[in-house]
Chain A
Amino acid sequence: MNRALLAALENIYPADRLLTRDVELLPYESDALTAFSAKPGAVVLPVDEAEIIYTVRLCHEMAVPFVARGSGTSLSGGSLPIPEGLTIGLNRLNRIKKIDPQQRIAVVEPGVINLHITEAAQPYGLYYAPDPSSQSICTIGGNIAFNSGGAHCLKYGMTSNHVLGMKVVLADGAVTQFGSESIEGVGVGPDLVGLFVGSEGLFGIALEITVRLMPQPELYRTVLAAYDDLGRAGDAVSMVVASGLLPGAMEIMDRLAIKAAEASVNAGYPDAEALLIVELEGEAPQVNAEFEQLRRIIDASGAFESRVAKSEAERTRIWKGRKGAFSAVGRLSPDYIVQDGVVPRSRLGEALLEINALKAKYSLDVANVFHAGDGNLHPLILYDGREDGALEKAEALAGEILALCVNLGGSITGEHGIGMEKRDYLPAMFSEEEIDIMQALRLAIDPKEIANRGKMFPGGEAPALARQGMHPLERAGVISRE
């Protein structure tokens, strides 16, 4: 770690907020993607924006790379420390500065937990719509960096659709304001908020964020439909989409995922090959009318059982199981890779068939949990890291699934981002020119490439994972180094 930087940090951070000892750094060496780990040079825990600005300026001055970290829940290694770099923990900047029920906005600090915004807005009949599965702990700063989605983004869009403005410190230390507090203000000039949201921490750190709040739906109708075939559940999604209905959420879990989630929350999920969760929400008369239509579709889709949540408690349990499904898979397997890819909704059934074939080819178990409504797949590839070569095999399978997504006209990430995990797959989606433009943009804002260095762009050494031989995508024939 840069000694001059440490000395300068000591000037403003007391010892309990400037972590440098091994025992303090170890717990920060991974986020929620433990396949990667890297010990940071130091961790600072600022408590106000002045400290963040000061810290970023120091890093810029001394060309020391940094990564901002909220609750460390990234599934793509987005908040993985940079070896010898600085980790800036933002979880103590957790104040909700303003809730304005008239304007329907909230102004929050970056370390505010996603769900806390909804809790604070609840007394006014409002809520914050994007609901990543980790919403009970993930922070809004991380949501912005990775343009987080969630089950209900089908109807309301991702984080980028809900951020109106923000004050940021750019990687070179400049402090600036993007967007505004008013919904009407958006749309004038270039969409700089849009540029910042999803930039994976490469541009700087959001200091204060204005988000849009939505009126709470008057009524929810949550339907569970059970199928004896995963493809049929996928077809049911296409049928719902084709009917013109726009549910709040449409989710699918396959047998393995159901088993894990059921063990975790006892939600009473039916014993099935696939489970479709459809949630209608909005004003009561509309929801009731839609519900009749949905019921006819589900009946015609070949579900062998369907049921409706009878109480708010039951609905909560259904969602708790779904939202904890990734982690619940930890009950089935010591290690797994959470994949995140997108396929066009019309090709969902096709993608699932292909994944099944790949499963057999690699003789690995794959649990499928996905935001079916927007074609966002989350295959979880189960492996035992204690076996030699198991991780590499699982990664190769993951690579083939991503190649499949791209080939079907989809994307290598729906909501988890590129981070560390998928940097080498970026060329599978973007041309060299496109990547050059991204890089030029980055250099314009961060000439020293200190903000989250080593993430998103391909190349460089992964800190914990030495890849050998051909890249999985090379083997799959999607990319080539020629």
Chain B
Amino acid sequence: MRHQIQSDDLRAPEMATAIEKCVHCGFCLAACPTYSLLGEEMDSPRGRIYLMKNVLEERLAAEDAQPYIDRCLGCMACVPACPSGVEYGDLLVSYRALQEAERQRPPLDALARKLVMETLPYPKRFRLAARTGALGKALQPALPAAFAAMLSLLPDKLPPPLPLPAILPAQGERRGVVALLPGCVQAALAPEINYAAAHTLAANGIEVHNPPGAGCCGSILLHIGAEAKARALARDNFTQLPADVDAIITTAAGCGSGINDYELLFKGQDDAERARAFSAKVMDFSAYLAELGLRRSKGFDRERRVAYQDACHLLHAQGIHSEPRALLNQIPNLRLLPIADAGMCCGSAGTYNIDQPVIAAELGRRKVESILALELDLVVSGNIGCIAQLRQQLALLKNPLPVVHIAELLWQAYAN
């Protein structure tokens, strides 16, 4: 599409290129969760591109377009669906960062957002907030929707931490050395995931480094446009995580895809090269293990019907599709079943279920409906957000179907 964008923002070229490549063909519509749910052009990828274009061309007020841009899950399903190769992610991340700087939010929104930004990336603060949250749950019905959604995601009690040794040695012949990125929310909400990931890696002959000073990668902030804070968190990890490892492993989809965006985040910064090198090392847990090859596990004593829930930030943003499935198919007595509409977001999408609770809940409901049609014993996913979302939706139906991280299932297969 032609455009007249003359922003002097550092990112204008990325945004202009994405808009230029869009030919408005509509192929993205079929892949977009909000279009399928809301059925209007403004809530489609090409519609949002058009709105952003008009804002950047100063033909439309940013605040008019904002509700529609806010409703974008950032699931990136439109990117692989796009024949013309529009880098929608580059456009969205840049646009959100640009607007965030100038944006006035209503006081309650601003407060909820500040809470998110000041707690989620920091496990200690998050623990504290979660305890307060348990109290807050009693007040939930009286709170605004964004707060209610935020609180409903918090467990009544956080599990105790499961510390990992600074170096977890490889079992048997050593096949590799990695560092485990601890992450933030996940480490507090579900320490068992990284615990299982580290032990599964060790069982497969991989030495796992767990530097105590490492933490949030900043993606959760990057995805909502809080760039400077995201960069600060990323820099902490540059110094805390060892550089001389085969890979830096993440067990959360959003971390992996966010770190892929470091090139954009650090554009024009002094340590851009450092960021690029760091980002090149980062690999998702399932992709790393699939590439290395799994050692034989004991598996299950009887057949388990299992479905793999694709996290958007693995499937669409990182193109990880066959790897986790290949791992699961190697587990004895595990029968893998496909979820209908597998590429549709479950509505979790980082902080989306806090910002857009109604749409998030409907997408979650649809996803659970497809899952329940399969009569499963277990659902696995590669991302804490999806896991929390599915558990919450299943709890609403009082359905006891367990949802676990793929690392947990693999570890169970070895531990059995």
**Which residues of A line the B interface, CB within 8 A?**
19, 21-24, 26-28, 30-32, 34, 45, 71-73, 89, 91-92, 113, 115, 134, 136-138, 261, 263-265, 324-331, 334-336, 385-386
> What are the residues of chain B within 8 A of A71 when measuring CB–CB?
26, 29
**Could you tell me if B27 and A324 are in contact, using CB atoms closer than 8 angstroms?**
yes
Which stretch, B17-25, B101-109, B307-315, touches the partner chain A? B17-25
**Given A32-B25, A32-B26, A330-B23, A22 contacting B60 (CB threshold 8 A):** yes
CA distance A57 to B364 in the complex (A): 39
Which of A23, A72, A73 is the one whose CB lies under 8 Å from B68?
A23
B42 within 8 A of partner (CB): yes
**Given A23-B68, A45-B40, A330-B84, A385 contacting B25 (CB threshold 8 A):** no
**Could you tell me if A45 and B39 are in contact, using CB atoms closer than 8 angstroms?**
yes
CA distance A92 to B38 in the complex (A): 9
Which stretch, B47-55, B189-197, B212-220, touches the partner chain A? B47-55
B1 within 8 A of partner (CB): yes
Which of A21, A30, A329 is the one whose CB lies under 8 Å from B84?
A329
> What are the residues of chain B within 8 A of A113 when measuring CB–CB?
30
B393 within 8 A of partner (CB): no
**Given A264-B83, A329-B84, A136 contacting B27 (CB threshold 8 A):** yes
Specify the chain A residue showing the minimal Cβ separation from B61.
A23
Q: Can you name 26 A-B pairs with beta carbons within 8 Å?
A: A22-B64, A23-B60, A26-B50, A26-B54, A27-B47, A27-B50, A31-B24, A31-B26, A32-B23, A45-B40, A72-B41, A89-B40, A92-B39, A134-B27, A138-B26, A261-B83, A264-B83, A325-B83, A326-B83, A327-B27, A327-B84, A330-B25, A330-B86, A331-B85, A336-B23, A385-B2
B44 within 8 A of partner (CB): yes
Specify the chain A residue showing the minimal Cβ separation from B55.
A23
**Interface residues of A: mostly helix, strand, loop or mixed?**
mixed
**Given A23-B68, A26-B60, A327-B84, A134 contacting B26 (CB threshold 8 A):** yes
CA distance A265 to B27 in the complex (A): 14
Among A23, A91, A115, A134, the one with the most B-chain Cβ atoms within 10 Å of its Cβ is A23
**Given A27-B51, A28-B41, A264-B84, A326 contacting B60 (CB threshold 8 A):** no
**Could you tell me if A23 and B24 are in contact, using CB atoms closer than 8 angstroms?**
no
CA distance A385 to B82 in the complex (A): 21
**Could you tell me if A30 and B24 are in contact, using CB atoms closer than 8 angstroms?**
yes
**Could you tell me if A386 and B2 are in contact, using CB atoms closer than 8 angstroms?**
yes
Specify the chain B residue showing the minimal Cβ separation from A75.
B25
B65 within 8 A of partner (CB): yes
Which of B23, B26, B54 is the one whose CB lies under 8 Å from A72?
B26
**Could you tell me if B40 and A330 are in contact, using CB atoms closer than 8 angstroms?**
no
CA distance A376 to B251 in the complex (A): 50
CA distance A335 to B21 in the complex (A): 8
CA distance A242 to B32 in the complex (A): 45
Which of A31, A134, A330, A335 is the one whose CB lies under 8 Å from B2?
A335
Which of A19, A27, A30 is the one whose CB lies under 8 Å from B44?
A27
> What are the residues of chain A within 8 A of B84 when measuring CB–CB?
264, 327-331
CA distance A32 to B24 in the complex (A): 5
6 closest A-B pairs by CB: A330-B84, A324-B83, A327-B83, A27-B47, A27-B41, A385-B2
Specify the chain A residue showing the minimal Cβ separation from B21.
A330
CA distance A31 to B1 in the complex (A): 12
**Could you tell me if B2 and A328 are in contact, using CB atoms closer than 8 angstroms?**
no
**Given A264-B84, A324-B83, A34 contacting B23 (CB threshold 8 A):** yes
CA distance A265 to B50 in the complex (A): 25
> What are the residues of chain A within 8 A of B30 when measuring CB–CB?
113, 115, 136-137
Which of B25, B42, B83 is the one whose CB lies under 8 Å from A27?
B42
> What are the residues of chain B within 8 A of A137 when measuring CB–CB?
26-27, 29-30
> What are the residues of chain B within 8 A of A19 when measuring CB–CB?
40
**Could you tell me if A328 and B24 are in contact, using CB atoms closer than 8 angstroms?**
no
Which of A22, A34, A138, A331 is the one whose CB lies under 8 Å from B24?
A34
Which of A26, A45, A134, A263 is the one whose CB lies under 8 Å from B25?
A134
* 8 Å CB interface, B68-125 against A: 68, 82-86
Specify the chain B residue showing the minimal Cβ separation from A336.
B23
CA distance A329 to B68 in the complex (A): 28
> What are the residues of chain A within 8 A of B68 when measuring CB–CB?
23
Report the count of interface residues on B (CB-CB < 8 A). Answer: 31
CA distance A22 to B65 in the complex (A): 10
Which of A34, A45, A326, A330 is the one whose CB lies under 8 Å from B85?
A330
> What are the residues of chain A within 8 A of B44 when measuring CB–CB?
27
**Could you tell me if A326 and B25 are in contact, using CB atoms closer than 8 angstroms?**
yes
**Given A330-B85, A331-B21, A335-B2, A23 contacting B26 (CB threshold 8 A):** no
Which of A21, A115, A327 is the one whose CB lies under 8 Å from B23?
A327
CA distance A326 to B24 in the complex (A): 11
**Given A22-B60, A136-B30, A263-B85, A327 contacting B2 (CB threshold 8 A):** no
Additional pairs, 18, CB under 8 Å, beyond known A23-B65, A327-B27: A23-B42, A23-B51, A23-B60, A27-B51, A31-B24, A32-B26, A89-B39, A89-B41, A92-B39, A134-B26, A324-B27, A327-B23, A327-B25, A327-B82, A327-B84, A330-B21, A330-B23, A335-B2
The distance from the CB of B83 to the nearest CB of chain A, in whole angstroms, is 3
**Could you tell me if A330 and B22 are in contact, using CB atoms closer than 8 angstroms?**
yes
Among A31, A92, A334, the one with the most B-chain Cβ atoms within 10 Å of its Cβ is A334
Specify the chain B residue showing the minimal Cβ separation from A69.
B41
Specify the chain B residue showing the minimal Cβ separation from A331.
B85
The distance from the CB of B254 to the nearest CB of chain A, in whole angstroms, is 26
**Could you tell me if A334 and B27 are in contact, using CB atoms closer than 8 angstroms?**
no
Specify the chain A residue showing the minimal Cβ separation from B68.
A23
CA distance A138 to B29 in the complex (A): 10
Specify the chain A residue showing the minimal Cβ separation from B16.
A334
> What are the residues of chain B within 8 A of A30 when measuring CB–CB?
24
The distance from the CB of B113 to the nearest CB of chain A, in whole angstroms, is 22
CA distance A91 to B26 in the complex (A): 13
**Could you tell me if A91 and B39 are in contact, using CB atoms closer than 8 angstroms?**
yes
CA distance A28 to B84 in the complex (A): 20
The distance from the CB of A269 to the nearest CB of chain B, in whole angstroms, is 14
> What are the residues of chain B within 8 A of A326 when measuring CB–CB?
23, 25, 83
> What are the residues of chain A within 8 A of B27 when measuring CB–CB?
134, 136-137, 324, 327
The distance from the CB of B214 to the nearest CB of chain A, in whole angstroms, is 36
> What are the residues of chain B within 8 A of A27 when measuring CB–CB?
41-42, 44, 46-47, 50-51
Among B25, B30, B40, the one with the most A-chain Cβ atoms within 10 Å of its Cβ is B25
CA distance A22 to B64 in the complex (A): 9
Specify the chain A residue showing the minimal Cβ separation from B17.
A334
The distance from the CB of B405 to the nearest CB of chain A, in whole angstroms, is 28
> What are the residues of chain B within 8 A of A325 when measuring CB–CB?
83
The distance from the CB of A382 to the nearest CB of chain B, in whole angstroms, is 12
**Could you tell me if A23 and B40 are in contact, using CB atoms closer than 8 angstroms?**
no
The distance from the CB of A334 to the nearest CB of chain B, in whole angstroms, is 5
What 0/1 readout, one digit per residue, does chain B (325-355) give for beta carbons within 8 Å of chain A?
0000000000000000000000000000000
The distance from the CB of A114 to the nearest CB of chain B, in whole angstroms, is 10
CA distance A335 to B22 in the complex (A): 9
CA distance A136 to B44 in the complex (A): 15
The distance from the CB of B81 to the nearest CB of chain A, in whole angstroms, is 8
The distance from the CB of B203 to the nearest CB of chain A, in whole angstroms, is 32
**Could you tell me if A334 and B20 are in contact, using CB atoms closer than 8 angstroms?**
yes
> What are the residues of chain A within 8 A of B20 when measuring CB–CB?
334
CA distance A261 to B84 in the complex (A): 9
Among A24, A89, A327, the one with the most B-chain Cβ atoms within 10 Å of its Cβ is A327
Specify the chain A residue showing the minimal Cβ separation from B25.
A327
CA distance A134 to B24 in the complex (A): 12
The distance from the CB of A22 to the nearest CB of chain B, in whole angstroms, is 7
> What are the residues of chain A within 8 A of B24 when measuring CB–CB?
30-32, 34
Specify the chain B residue showing the minimal Cβ separation from A327.
B83
The distance from the CB of B1 to the nearest CB of chain A, in whole angstroms, is 5
**Could you tell me if A23 and B25 are in contact, using CB atoms closer than 8 angstroms?**
no
**Could you tell me if B85 and A73 are in contact, using CB atoms closer than 8 angstroms?**
no
The distance from the CB of A118 to the nearest CB of chain B, in whole angstroms, is 13
Specify the chain A residue showing the minimal Cβ separation from B39.
A92
CA distance A80 to B271 in the complex (A): 48
The distance from the CB of B326 to the nearest CB of chain A, in whole angstroms, is 15
